[in-house]
Amino acid sequence: MSSFRSTPDRKRLLGAGLTLVLLAQVTLPGLASEDEEKVAHVISRLSFGAKPGEIEAVEKEGIENYIRRQLHPDSQPLPADLEKLGQLDALAKDPVYLFLNYGKPAIKALAKSNGQGDKDDKEAKKIIGETYRRMYQEAALARVRRAVESPRELQEVMTDFWFNHFNISQEKGLDHVWIGSYEERAIRPYALGRFRDMLGATAHHAGMLFYLDNWQNTAASYKEERVTPAFAARFNKDQEAKLPARRNRFQGINENYARELMELHTLGVDGGYSQKDVQELARVLTGLGLPKGAGGGRGLGGPSGQEQMMFTQNQGAGAGVGTRRRGIRGAIIREYGGAETIVGNRELGYYFDPSRHDQGEKVLLGKVIKAEGEAEIEKVLDLLARHPSTARHISFKLAQYFVADKPPQTLVDKLSKSFSESDGDIPTVLNTLFHASEFYDKNYRGKKFKSPYRYVISSLRATDSRVEDVKPLLNFLKQTGQPLYQCLTPDGYKNTKEAWLNPDNLINRLNYATVLGTSRYPGITTRVKDPSQVADACTTDLSAATVSAVKQAPSQLKAALVLGSPEFMMY
């Protein structure tokens, strides 16, 4: 098979345009620079795919420098407009702020004070829908634009990896407003940091507490303090009628988070824990929930908690009234409620309620966890993060993600060792990975099949595209079965060929490639249209059949064919 990349003076020819290259006899023997192939491979795995000219640039820079730069994202300045993305509310604001300003109750209160919603809450539903969409699109736009444009390529790759590892779904209740904050506060800062720190941040972020129900996890012995008549009397009649029907939401253990914390986040399903361990860990985690509103409120989450928060807001001096005229559609509804209304940690949006915590001693994985309240949680997170099963579990996932669907055990062992020895320092583990012989093994190069997300991002990088409107792209990701931020189940998306290669999905990609490659994709500005430049960003060698098909195609279709080529599906 003759290879595009193996033409010795490929770069010069590329400069002259693809047509010229393709007219030339591309049958020269494999005199390819070994380095160039290696560089292309390294970029293909450390990033979401090369940009035009990037392979050549890194060849000059040297692989070692490139790896070092990628492992230390802060060493690379961000372009100003990417930096600005971080200021979008969905990303920048803390969970409490997001709840108070974009949560359902805030908007319901607003719709109500607008004179609507008493009889039918159509208006409120409409505003909620629009607000949720805005939160989603802000988070998604930032994610996609950074993935396409940021020089911190590995950080973007690892953000995707870890988000998926600690998956939450935007489609569940309050996570509609917390999805961007979750990634920005619990995942991204630690994507190239310490595993234990990320584990702690995800455990405490409102997004995870809500998604896996731990906010309701309560000691079996707990008796909830009911809303007293005195408390109810503080509200006017109308509101009183809406008081929650005395439903007690905190009535016992909820195992959901405890189970996934061991099965998915740390030890792995075969990591050597039992159903008893799940129950014990759930006991340790009792009381770790969402911030609490003033006046005996029961937290942000869930209808009763939400109602409570709404009351808290309305209670404030003319609350809502002064701001309700400030526009509905996503404008700031109300300034932050102030410290006296909220109990808990605002940065991540959690509150540890000692009264709901199981005060007994626990035994987890054979270790006695003495009763000491909130400190128990840190102890078990330490225990789980340092457990050898966790090192193996994470190492397997990294090896599968970066090297091969069925990664060599030798590599998994090397990474496990590195993980344990560095106490879960992610850059150290990745550095081991990027210098392992297995990583460079030719049998593994170009053999990974791109997931739909990777395919989309790599195509946008290869065409140096700028995403202005993320909606059409989100629709495509949904069609391909990998909707962004919407993996319903906590195990996240798979990253194997087996999971993603199927006939219908492939044809879908070709449809997409045609639209993007002909610069007609809605919401996207394609800055590189020259097919030879697009081909230059393909990190796997184009086959003779591809080269010949591109050669014969009408010029407006050439770039589309490169993007839809079998080689562009791989990395």
Q: Which residues bind another protein (CB under 8 A)?
A: 213, 216, 218, 220, 247, 249-256, 259, 263, 269, 275, 278, 302, 472, 475-476, 478-482, 488-489, 491, 497-508, 510-512, 514-515, 543, 545-546, 548-549, 552-554, 557, 561, 564-566, 569
Q: How far is the CB of 279 from another protein (least distance, A)?
A: 10
Quick one: DSSP state of residue 367? E
CA distance 483 to 473: 10
CA distance 182 to 205: 7
Contact 305, 289 (CB under 8 A): no
Kindly tell me which of 42 and 290 has the beta carbon lying closer to another protein.
290
| DSSP per-residue string spanning 109-162 | HHHHHTT-SSS--HHHHHHHHHHHHHHHHHHHHHHHHHHHH-S-HHHHHHHHHH
CA distance 571 to 568: 7
Question: Within 166-247, where are the H helices?
Answer: 175-182, 195-204, 206-211, 229-233, 237-241
- Residue 212 in tokens: 């896996």
Q: How far is the CB of 298 from another protein (least distance, A)?
A: 13
Encoded amino acid at 254, one letter: N
- Residue 311 in tokens: 């009351």
Q: How far is the CB of 219 from another protein (least distance, A)?
A: 10
228 φ, ψ (degrees, to nearest 5): -80, 155
Smallest Cα–Cα separation from 430: which of 452, 414, 450, 447?
A: 414
CA distance 279 to 256: 10
Q: How many residues does the chain have?
A: 571
CA distance 321 to 236: 16
Q: How far is the CB of 248 from another protein (least distance, A)?
A: 8
Contact 94, 184 (CB under 8 A): no
CA distance 285 to 158: 28
Kindly tell me which of 39 and 549 has the beta carbon lying closer to another protein.
549
Contact 308, 99 (CB under 8 A): no
Encoded amino acid at 143, one letter: R
Q: How many Cβ atoms are within 10 Å of 447's Cβ, its own excluded?
A: 15
CA distance 448 to 41: 11
CA distance 461 to 46: 14
Q: How many Cβ atoms are within 10 Å of 38's Cβ, its own excluded?
A: 15
Radius of gyration of the chain (CA): 26
Q: How far is the CB of 350 from another protein (least distance, A)?
A: 18
- Residue 105 in tokens: 């109750």
Q: How far is the CB of 81 from another protein (least distance, A)?
A: 28
Question: What spatial distance separates the first Cα and last Cα of the chain, rounded to whole Å?
Answer: 18
CA distance 493 to 469: 24
Q: How far is the CB of 408 from another protein (least distance, A)?
A: 16
Q: How far is CA 384 from CA 201, 322, 348, in A?
A: 14, 49, 21
Kindly tell me which of 76 and 555 has the beta carbon lying closer to another protein.
555
Question: How do strand 524-525 and strand 466-467 relate by DSSP bridges?
Answer: antiparallel
Kindly tell me which of 124 and 569 has the beta carbon lying closer to another protein.
569
Encoded amino acid at 113, one letter: S
- How many CA atoms does the CB half-sphere of 274 hold within 13 Å? 6
